[in-house]
Chain A
Amino acid sequence: MKKVSDIIKGTKAYYCVDCGKCTSACPLSRFGDYSPDGLVERALLGLPVQPDLRIWSCLTCNRCKEVCTYGVEYPEFIRGIRSVALEEKESGVCAHGELFSLMKLFTFTHEREQKRLNWVSEDLKVSEKGDILYFTGCLPYFDLVFRDLGVNTVEIARSTVKILNKLGIAPVVMNNEVCCGHDLFWNGDIETFKKLASINIQNIKDTGAKKVIFSCPEGYRTFKLDYPDFFDFDFELVHISELLSEKIEEGKIELHQIDDKVTYHDSCRLGRHLGVYDAPRRVISEVATDFVEMESNRENSLCCGTSGWTNCDGISEEIRKERLKECTDAGAKIMVTSCPKCLIHFKCHMNNRKGEYGTEIVPFEVFVARAMGLV
């Protein structure tokens, strides 16, 4: 069993001088009673932190880590504390019922045949084996759960494949793909995460793919930063925005320009976790002649208010409201987002406040596919 003292050591929490910089940057603290350095200080004093329900509220959005000048890895600290709490049978509240248990079911692959590829329509060119693979992630499942919000997550997958087809790529898509394990990992369930990871890596190896393309920032982060801690693999990992940005530089892509004011919402995983800020902007500003930034952007971006489906509450709603206010203040007609969860969370907030917002939220891939005349 992992001890709190090991977590303090592993995440350099002992460097904390309680300066409060993390708390004053944290999106949760801004709207509610939450303090990263307060929790760290308690752990440093040897007081128990795992029973504190607030450990499940952390967005692990990296805002605190980004501003911390002492190198304390608070999101990883929280992840560790959650593992300890799980062992003590504590857990966060999944805002969407049984989603977590669904993810766990995937680990018993031999017993359950998925119909994951129902979204692959006739007009899409995909392969079973090949050099380039598209890791679709949870998009087909989100479509079932969140369809009533008016989000069409399979549209993201379809757009991605259409874009790739246009670039002459018929990507491999896997029916036996499983959840990347991101949410379980961040909620402390490392064992199930490892099972999922090993299934995915084996299945990808079986297709012979040399390059894996992601549309989902969470999947991309998990493969890029977390899988290598447990498993070896040598396929290359690329986010669709990075691929497109490269193609634009090479002049291999034609995009119809639009005059609408467009802004971009950095998701915490693609932005602060992976540092991919420029590629999506490079692509979007190629389409939108009037690209604007919101007040907080790039490493200082406000997030969508929930991560890992855990503890979505009033504070989450306040964060969304503030982010959408920034979007309105910037005068943007379209807000492009790279993460399906950001899309879901903002749409949910807007659905509850009909007519209050004049902004359209468009997934990055759909935005590009439109500009390429593909949808």
Chain B
Amino acid sequence: MNDKAVLVIGGGVAGMQAAFDLAEAGIKVCLVERTLSVGGRMAQLDKTFPTNDCAICILAPKMMDCYRHENIEVLTLSEVIAIEGEIGSFKVKILRKSRFIDEDKCNGCGDCARVCPMGILNKFDMDLRVRSGAYIPFMQAVPLIYALDRDKCMRCGLCEVICGKDAIRYDQKPEIVERNVSAIIVAIGFDPLDPSGLTEYGYGKYDDVITALEFERLICAAGPTGGHVIRRDGKEVKRIAWIQCVGARDTRENRPYCCSVCCMHATKEAILTKEHYPEVETFILYTDLRCFGKGFQEYVNRAEDDYGVKYIRGKPGEIREKENKDLEIFYSPSSDKVEKMAVDMVVLSTALIPSEGVEALAEILGTELDEYKFFKLKDPYNPTETTRAGIFVAGYCQAPRDIPECIAHGSAAASRAMEIVLGGSYDRRA
């Protein structure tokens, strides 16, 4: 790979879009992804708002397009550990962690996964499903190459025996590769906040207080329950309440920002629930509904009028589990008295926060972060330009935004990186 290439960090929807746009323009791209598969957070979603399109159905072809593109080199299970140089000629060191399976030999048959005796909670399924010690994170994972979880592996040897391709490499060592690129695009997305610190909601204490991303896995037909929304004790759910702004718009932990997507994804999850189970009652307890995007207000109207989703203004102050496992929510809709509502599942629309490791990466890249640890822009008129020349940012890691906006941002970052590669007028803009 020569200097006329671009490095994209993060294989989510923003990073893939950037990589694909560059590749289609004839520019070589190295796409570095930390996990086993490209796809990012969108791959975990069941549907997308406000159209209720199947998320993985839109995403999987994009993932394949990216992976198969002759101009894109996808490095999964990899992390950028150092960069040298400057705009126009960066030298990047990338740590390729071991899959313990020979990537060239594995054909994705899954025999290793079937024989492996280990049971490990699958992070992709928000720890709601057990996977094998030899695994791919989800069915549509790209590349379709298995990996061994050597932290838990007992090295019993079964996978080695069964593998018809002789691809198991228990002692595979990580390697460091170098790439020379003209520009870098950071698109590392977000993590959902762990709400157990917000003790008034009882997450982690009560079984059926879950997060929106956990709910997304539950309602997904390919998810751990095959799309059945059930309580931890296996019972069908009759009444579900979503609580908005959990940890977001919250000054207590310096997170006063709005996460921008939760009003809509709660609406989506309530609609999906109603489509699966028309008899289930759904409530959304919100602070104020932020339906600012195209088709958003119509989506909420449809949820109310056509599906009977009930919107209640009020942020609950406490949730308590009753003896029958029902969850009692205390809220104050009219601001002069407290009301109680019993439901059997509470879904927390948790804040979305910059990904784990963002500070370390910013340090490596020599870029600044803002006070909430989102990547800082050099100025608002260059919406993809970080504080370091030649390094661009796309997607949620710059600021809260939804999927279409992340895609647009990815394209925008690609076009700016293109200027550098093609020797354009980048410098004159500064």
Binds A, one of B160-168, B211-219, B329-337, B374-382: B329-337
The residue from A24, A26, A41 contacting B316, defined by CB atoms under 8 A apart: A24
Contact status B332-A23, CB under 8 Å: yes
The residue from A20, A25, A30, A66 contacting B335, defined by CB atoms under 8 A apart: A20
CB neighbours (8 Å) of B199 from chain A are 298-300
Binds A, one of B178-186, B243-251, B402-410: B243-251
The residue from A17, A38, A299, A300 contacting B336, defined by CB atoms under 8 A apart: A38
Contact status B200-A69, CB under 8 Å: no
Residue A261 CB within 8 A of the other chain: no
**Count of interface residues, chain A, beta-carbon cutoff 8 Å:** 29
Residue B119 CB within 8 A of the other chain: no
Contact status A37-B250, CB under 8 Å: no
Residue B338 CB within 8 A of the other chain: yes
Residue A22 CB within 8 A of the other chain: yes
Residue ID in chain B nearest A16 by CB atoms:
B335
The residue from A24, A37, A69, A299 contacting B249, defined by CB atoms under 8 A apart: A69
Per the bound structure, the CA–CA distance linking A154 and B314 in Å amounts to 46
Interchain Cβ contacts within 8 Å, total number: 83
**Count of interface residues, chain B, beta-carbon cutoff 8 Å:** 26
Contact status A69-B337, CB under 8 Å: no
Q: Given A298-B199, A300-B199 in contact, is the A24-B336 Cβ separation under 8 Å?
A: no
Contact status B330-A24, CB under 8 Å: yes
Contact status B318-A25, CB under 8 Å: yes
Scan residues 323-347 of chain B and give those whose CB is less than 8 A from a CB of chain A. Answer: 330-339
Per the bound structure, the CA–CA distance linking A29 and B314 in Å amounts to 15
Per the bound structure, the CA–CA distance linking A23 and B339 in Å amounts to 10
Most chain B CB within 10 A, of A25, A37, A69, is at A69
Residue B320 CB within 8 A of the other chain: yes
Residue ID in chain B nearest A28 by CB atoms:
B338
Residue B315 CB within 8 A of the other chain: yes
Residue B225 CB within 8 A of the other chain: no
Residue A67 CB within 8 A of the other chain: yes
Contact status A41-B338, CB under 8 Å: no
Residue A233 CB within 8 A of the other chain: no
Residue A18 CB within 8 A of the other chain: yes
CB neighbours (8 Å) of B320 from chain A are 295
Residue A250 CB within 8 A of the other chain: no
Contact status A17-B317, CB under 8 Å: no
What is the interface of chain A mostly: helix, strand, loop, or mixed?
helix
Residue B297 CB within 8 A of the other chain: no
Residue ID in chain A nearest B253 by CB atoms:
A69
CB distance from A13 to the nearest CB of B (A): 13
Residue A21 CB within 8 A of the other chain: yes
CB neighbours (8 Å) of B316 from chain A are 21, 24
Residue A19 CB within 8 A of the other chain: yes
The residue from B249, B252, B288, B317 contacting A22, defined by CB atoms under 8 A apart: B317
Q: Given A29-B338, A300-B200 in contact, is the A20-B288 Cβ separation under 8 Å?
A: no
Residue B367 CB within 8 A of the other chain: no
CB neighbours (8 Å) of B250 from chain A are 69
Contact status B317-A69, CB under 8 Å: no
The residue from B317, B334, B339 contacting A21, defined by CB atoms under 8 A apart: B317
Contact status A24-B288, CB under 8 Å: no
The residue from B200, B245, B249, B317 contacting A23, defined by CB atoms under 8 A apart: B317
Contact status B336-A35, CB under 8 Å: yes
Q: Given A19-B315, A24-B314, A25-B317 in contact, is the A70-B249 Cβ separation under 8 Å?
A: yes
Contact status A69-B338, CB under 8 Å: no
Question: Could you pull out 17 A-B pairs where Cβ atoms are within 8 angstroms?
Answer: A19-B287, A20-B313, A20-B331, A20-B332, A21-B317, A23-B335, A23-B336, A24-B330, A25-B318, A33-B336, A37-B332, A38-B335, A69-B251, A69-B315, A298-B199, A299-B199, A300-B199
Further pairs besides A20-B335, A71-B252: 20, Cβ < 8 Å: A18-B335, A19-B315, A20-B313, A20-B314, A20-B331, A23-B335, A23-B336, A24-B332, A24-B339, A25-B200, A25-B330, A35-B335, A41-B335, A68-B252, A71-B251, A295-B320, A299-B199, A300-B199, A300-B200, A300-B318
The 5 A-B pairs with the shortest beta carbon distances in the complex, nearest first, are A25-B317, A20-B332, A24-B317, A23-B332, A71-B251
